[in-house]
Structure 1
């Protein structure tokens, strides 16, 4: 049933997913958590909800505009259901704003494949990444994704390898100016350094340890299906998939080295994994019962997280 419903890209599917996400967000931010309601809090939370919905929109835009997979909502629905299972992420205002700008930068890199306005797109990606770094310093590692995209789509001109630093420099100067003028202090360089806490730290929480274990199982399953996914993909699709896979590798690196709670950092794995799930679901070799079973697991994860 769910497989049939999400097998096409229809407005009703996005509307239902948006409502489902909004309900989960409201429950987590206003019902499950004790808060003193006031106009400022309500408007700030609604603003963050809008950013979350924009992240979902950008995810759908990325897969549709770059034709990463056929028109359907398998990827978006997987992302929405898995995200809801991580309630602390729904309360992470600063983090999701940072991730929003990171996705905008990632979108600009993928758009290089059109071979138009290359210099502008590379500059935009560097500038947007620098804004993301303001909120999450470890996002500077995604500069590797920008350069991977340049190598894939625009390596014919050596100047293209300089432009990302120009975009970063503009954002970095603005960031330093803010600290010096408004806070009268210098940025703390140590916040940009890796803080690997060991694999055991990912399983400090039983709930999120179980959810992470499930995501890892799904990830390994999808990795084994990559040959079939690539064989089906056209040239431009395979290039985009390669960029997404590299994006996921860098995401896993940040997940392991930034020392932040897994309950929030899980999005690093969830978003690229959702895109790959969408590609796997459209394979003719993927049985319907497998798709339905994965959706059952997603929903079970949401219920497990809500009840534990």
Structure 2
């Protein structure tokens, strides 16, 4: 049964999920690609595929290293399924790359719980968010996470509150130097921003509307179990779970404020939902319903792929 298989954390699980992700990624980017192929195009897509697969590995590392979930592969399975049912995610390199840096930042923020190298981790997290901004400006909203890390773990030291600003300023200096060397012009961060819009017309198309409806329903359903998990764990783990929850809330604002919506921005929403959903599958009870849900998720990837865009 699928539930029993995903309860384990074996290499074969990662291999199969990785092959599943690779198949849909290559299908979306190569078989349905417009225009002619070139060596540079293929190399770029292979590089993007590696980043996409690394997202799976990284999110698994974050939740296992910090005891956010148990040792299983529910998180990566949900990540794989929810990303492949939104084909724009697989085709938008800026979103995938920005998500990589947001996950790197989240990894450092969650690891603040150990108290080791606190200032360095805080700087790293803020720095990665600054880098993510260069690829997807709206991802700067996640700068709230380092400040919450300070609030949760070390709010007595005033110097900690200044570190995120120094990290962002470092990104500004490096980007300015790069622009001057390559383009002979200054870097203007404000030029990266666009006015947010509330145009959700793209979400009315069936290939986006159907998976989005299920994603939202699944999220709301899983939240009840997630709140129960928060009440049971110790204080440090509870803060980690709060950070995942706040990441989810920030992603909602990001999706709402994104000026050019095409469905790819939902990747930021999916990242924390995978963790929240994994906690639901770890709870006891509802065995047959969970099995049905996992099978339905797999079938949904095929159903969505057959719907004309």
Scaled to the shorter chain, the TM-score interval is over 0.9
Secondary structure of the corresponding residue to residue 264 of structure 2: helix
- Name the structure 1 match of 2:218: 218
CA root-mean-square deviation: 1.7
- Quote the residue 1:72 is aligned against: 72
Structure 2 equivalent of residue 3 of structure 1: 3
Distance 1:263 1:297 in 2: 21
TM-score (norm 2): 0.94
* Aligned counterparts of 1:292 and 1:271: Cα–Cα separation in 2: 22
Q: Which residue of 1 aligns with 2:264?
A: 264
Give the conservation status (yes or no) of the 8 Å contact 2:98–2:133: yes
Give the Å deviation of 1:188: 5.9
Structure 1 residue 298 corresponds to structure 2 residue 307: no
Distance of 2:228 and 2:75 partners within structure 1: 17
- Conserved? CA contact 1:82–1:301, under 8 Å: no
1:222-247 residue CA offsets vs partner (Å, 9 max, x unmatched): 22223322233232221111000001
User: Structure 1 pair 280/232, CA: closer, same or farther in 2 (3 Å)?
Assistant: farther
Judge conservation of contact 1:74–1:278 (CA < 8 Å) in 2: yes
Q: What is the deviation of 1:194? A: 4.8
Question: C-alpha separation between the residues in 1 aligned to 2:195 and 2:224?
Answer: 30
Q: Report what 2:41 is aligned to.
A: 41
Question: For 1:256-288, what per-residue CA distance to the aligned partner results, in whole angstroms no more than 9, with x for missing partners?
Answer: 00123242011121110010111111112x411
Is it true that 1:28 corresponds to 2:20 in the alignment? no
Match of 2:190?
A: 189
What are the equivalent positions in structure 2 for 1:235-274 lying under 5 Å apart? 235-274=235-274
* Cα 1:221/1:58, change in 2 over 3 Å: same
Q: Residue deviations 1:15-69, cap 9 Å, x none?
A: 1001111111111111122342222122111111110111111000001100111
Cα pair distance change 1:124/1:32, threshold 3 Å: same
Secondary structure in structure 2 of the residue aligned to 1:261: coil
Cα distance change of structure 1 residues 83 and 118 upon mapping to structure 2, 3 Å threshold: same
Q: CA deviation at 1:190?
A: 5.0
1:263 counterpart SS class:
coil
Structure 2: unaligned runs, 5 residues or longer: none
Query: 1:89-168 residue pairs with structure 2 within 5 A?
Result: 89-168=89-168
Check whether the contact 1:3–1:291 (CA below 8 A) recurs between aligned residues: yes
Give 5+ residue unaligned stretches, structure 1. Answer: none
Q: Structure 1 pair 3/136, CA: closer, same or farther in 2 (3 Å)? A: same
| Whole-angstrom CA distance in 1 between matches of 2:162 and 2:202 | 37
